[in-house]
Amino acid sequence: MSYDNVLPDGGQARRPRAIVKVNGTAVPGWVDWEVNNNSHYQADTFRVSFARSQLPAQFGHDWWASQTAINVEILAGFPPDPNSFTENQLTSWIYGNVDEIDDDPVSGLLTVSGRDLTSLLIDTKTTEDFREQTASGIATTLANRHGLDTSYIATTRSKVGTFYKQDHVHMVHEHSEWDLLCYLAAHEEFQVYVDRLSLRFEPRSDPSSVTQYLLKWDSQRSDRASPAFNGMQLNFVRNLTVARGIVVIVRSWHYGRKGAVTSTYPKSATGIKPGMSATAGGQQVYTFTRPNLTQQEADDFATAKHRELTRHEMKLRASMPADDVLRADSVVQVLGVGSQFDQSYFPDSVTRRMSLSEGYVMTLTAKNHNTDSETLP
């Protein structure tokens, strides 16, 4: 197996650089910044602190106090010449709008925080009836309303009314546009997220095709007095409630067929009822009710929910020097620990931070399930 990150055998000199842009202009004087890139269905977030005394005149105190909308872009990386570089040599880690400004004259810091452009969809409510449109058509409509690029919206064929023919609650009740897109993505088995200025609504990535990132713990090297690790901190958590086993039950009433549908995963637990923890041998039972599912759709939903819930069994947290490789959609492989914790993990978030005191570092939180404890049908 090959991995996208290169593990150095010894120490490396690092000269990272960053640019913080405010309303399209690079603004000097930043003291530190942080970007949190989340897994899909959430907004990425950022925070930047500026030294008030170092802000250029056009971005003085009065400017920050009078603006009603401010956008920020944070770029970072390792340019060939750290003394002379352009933004094209860096990676853009977030582009978003400021939610809050904290101006502290005592400390001399002005701090701004906000979210990526997912916030435009999160903050907009909708009561429209989209049942006669396709999921991709709805995604395109909502993206256009907010000036988002639609190049990455994959075409779907079925009208959303086929999902919930009689259920006006999910499709018409006042929810955010983002709730609606996440709901549609779940039914299409799509992923949905905002990538800078683009709305991506597309089939889920094949784990085998995305970035493979290696965290290697090496306790066997004879030339070292202590174990080697390509990071700074590493710890694992195992959820014993999940380890005892999970049963997912899905119930649905199909209005068109006037009949009930029930699906249980794993299939070997078909005799288990909600609340029957003793009969279930200590397994935890999760029950979901969704309208208008066919038997196949209920089976697929139960399987997907079981997979999602069991991923919480193993959790990983690690910190390491930041690089340009690890992303929220990477697959992280842990090797060398010598236990069940050696396996693949899916990130919940990757947080990058840069400051004069701390340098350029990142923190990873991820989860997966222990493959040996997965209950098979």
Task: Give the integer Cα–Cα distance in Å for 344 and 368.
Answer: 7
Average pLDDT over residues 105-126: 95
Counting Cα atoms < 13 Å in the Cβ hemisphere of 282 gives 6
pLDDT in tens, 19-75: 999 999 999 999 999 999 997 778 999 999 999 999 999 998 889 999 999 999 999
pLDDT for 354 beyond 50 = yes
Task: Give the integer Cα–Cα distance in Å for 112 and 125.
Answer: 25
pLDDT in tens, 136-156: 999 999 999 999 999 999 999
Residues β-bridged to residue 368 = 314
For residue 240, name the pLDDT band (cuts at 50, 70, 90).
confident
For 47-85, b where at least 16 C-beta lie within 10 A, e where not — what string? bbbbebeebeeebeeeebeeeeebebbbbbbbbeeeeee
pLDDT in tens, 273-284: 544 443 445 577
Architecture of domain 211-239+312-367: Beta Barrel (2.40)
Kindly list the domain boundaries of the chain, sorted by start residue: 17-114, 120-195, 211-239+312-367, 240-310
- Asked if 298 and 305 count as a contact pair (C-beta separation under 8 A), the reply is no
**What are the helix (H) ranges across the chain?**
61-66, 118-122, 135-145, 168-172, 177-188, 240-243, 295-310
Q: pTM for this one?
A: 0.81
Query: What amino acid occupies position 62?
Result: D
Closest CA to 39 of 367, 352, 374, 302: 367
Task: Give the integer Cα–Cα distance in Å for 132 and 270.
Answer: 37
